[in-house]
Amino acid sequence: MKITNPILPGFNPDPSIVRVGDDYYIATSTFEWYPGVQIHHSRDLKNWRLVTRPLDRATQLDMRGDPDSGGVWAPCLSYADGQFWLIYSDVKRRDGAWKDSHNYLVTAPSIDGPWSDRVHLNSSGFDPSLFHDADGRKWLLNMIWNHNKQGGDRFGGIVMQEYSVAEQKLTGEIHNIYRGTDHKLVEGPHLYRRDGWYYLLTAEGGTGYDHAATMARSRDLFGPYETDPAKHVLTSKDTDPDHLLQRAGHADIVETQSGEHFMVHLCSRPLEETRTIVTNTSIHADDVRRSPLGRETSIQRLIWEEGAFPRLAHGGPAPATEIDGPDLPEAPVDAIPTRRTFEDGLPPEFQWLRTPDADRLFSTTERAGALRIFGRESPGSQFEHALVARRQDAIHYTAETELEMTPGDYQHFAGLIAWYGRNKFHYLAVTADEAGGRVLTIYSCAADWPDAAISYPVEPIPLPADGPIRLGCDVDSSELRFRYATEGGDWIDTGVVLDQSAISDEAGNGPGNNFTGAFVGMCAHDTSGRGRFADFLSFTYEARNG
């Protein structure tokens, strides 16, 4: 069985993997998207199915006010004592010298729940991870943030403290067990016990094109930890810029039933036309290479001999685009349907932004068979933004929706949106002109603050006063084209080509500042504060070959 990377395409970064019997689970970061933490399931490490997003209520997660690319960072999923343990950060501030990063624990007897209310652990840094030692003691690891350090590297090392299950809190001394290498920015810790050693896997170099996974080990839990002589077990930083899988790092390791080892890791796939051959290796063209799909999850086969550091089975530290799978029977999963309706609620691939109070944003019961989205705050809101969307998981795709709305005025608008964040989006919207006539327009924002500005690529297009409107977009790598159709009519191209590469990690402030990925979906806005709605009757998403 061959496995082609990535195994979780589209925005699925910071993978944490665990095996429970014959079942494998990967948890990935969701940042400001609600509900929090995606968990996929597989029986063969090749075919994966989304099974749950466990952080689905205010007593576990409330991200209203969190910045773009804040929220849930780097979950750690483990299994011990007959239950699942999920550790995660909720990052409330991520710019400047300080970070407000609160680390929490929830538990469940089954992957399907019920998941407990959260327990606050600490707020000293991000990327928390829970290690269950052989003696039954539990240790929380996280990177520690040092706001006093100069020069941009405020990563103060990997710290560890014991967690008391009985008291539901951290206890005892805090140990700084590893300060990383000269590659700097040490984060993403995972600890393993094997052959009398404690192996510490970390991420280094930041999550841009210098990203890497670094291994160290110690005979003693508290160190000192000796860095692998090879330094990086995984990285793309020294590969040709045309290598498909870039930005490889932030990894975790799993052992199969038969003793094989595999490493899951994040990576990105820059659009081919944005890759740049870099002849000076000290220069990385982060502002040129662009990855709308964001950071994805891939998998590598490891060779981990007794008493040795692990190595990629194919040799070298660069990730492979195809590997030999495990000695397991293949276990296919059903594909996500291309066309979705809303009779049975919101389909599982869709999420919304920040708030646990979803009833304020949308309903699948107020109008039978429709998704009713209530217009709330503007597209730049970090509090109540009524946007329901799914990940872009292919370089080329088509998306369509059908909506019914009668805009009361120009402050009421709704439609189809290609979204990365509050300063990166393309929006085909039904609204009203100043005379109250129904029109179609495009709002486009293709940069980060302070460069962000809304552009209006087309003059408002008159629409019939009532009746359903179909909206569509066709994305071909770095180009997006919007189209529309009135009731009973043919599709009409809006006549503009928008820059889809701007809906990416690297556009604007660049990698290391943007952490999510492109979405496409439905939204409604009402900046008058009256909460006027739009009804969406269906949504279609189809990946296409280039």
**Which of 324, 354, 376 represents a domain boundary (last residue)?**
324
Torsion of CA 489, 494, 497, 503, to 10 degrees: -80
Residue 278 lies in domain: 2-324
Q: How far apart are CA 386 and CA 375, in angstroms?
A: 6
The confidence band for 511, taking pLDDT boundaries of 50, 70 and 90, is confident
**Model pLDDT for residues 368-411, shown as the tens digit of each residue:** 999 999 999 999 899 999 999 999 999 999 999 999 999 999 99
Q: Does the pLDDT of residue 280 top 50, yes or no?
A: no
Assess whether 280 and 141 both reside in one domain.
yes
Assess whether 143 and 174 both reside in one domain.
yes
Residue 119 belongs to domain with CATH number: 2.115.10.20
Assess whether 248 and 373 both reside in one domain.
no
**Model pLDDT for residues 165-182, shown as the tens digit of each residue:** 999 999 999 999 999 999
Q: How far apart are CA 320 and CA 313, in angstroms?
A: 10
**Which of 295, 324, 353 represents a domain boundary (last residue)?**
324
Structural domain includes residue 227: yes
Apex CA 11: angle with CA 9 and CA 17, to 5°? Answer: 75
Assess whether 427 and 530 both reside in one domain.
yes
Active site residues: 384
The owner of tokens 């964040």 is: 421
Structural domain includes residue 507: yes
Whether omega before 6 lies within 30 degrees of 0, making that bond cis, reads yes
Which tokens in the block code for residue 249?
A: 């790092």
Assess whether 252 and 349 both reside in one domain.
no
Q: Does the pLDDT of residue 283 top 50, yes or no?
A: no
Structural domain includes residue 211: yes
**Model pLDDT for residues 107-153, shown as the tens digit of each residue:** 999 999 999 999 999 999 999 999 999 999 999 999 999 999 987 78
Q: Does the pLDDT of residue 453 top 90, yes or no?
A: no
Q: Mean pLDDT over all residues of the chain?
A: 95
- Domains: count for the chain: 2
Q: Does the pLDDT of residue 542 top 80, yes or no?
A: yes
How many other C-beta atoms lie within 10 A of the C-beta of residue 82?
A: 6
Q: Does the pLDDT of residue 278 top 50, yes or no?
A: no
**DSSP strand pairing (362-363 vs 169-178):** unpaired
3-class SS of residue 469:
strand
pLDDT at residue number 277: 44
Q: Which residues is 102 bridged to in the sheet? A: 90
Structural domain includes residue 418: yes
Q: Are the beta carbons of 423 and 455 closer than 8 angstroms? A: no
Assess whether 203 and 304 both reside in one domain.
yes
Mean pLDDT of the 64-89 span: 98
Q: How far apart are CA 519 and CA 390, in angstroms?
A: 5
Assess whether 300 and 394 both reside in one domain.
no
Structural domain includes residue 329: no
The predicted model scores a pTM of 0.96
The confidence band for 546, taking pLDDT boundaries of 50, 70 and 90, is low
Assess whether 61 and 34 both reside in one domain.
yes
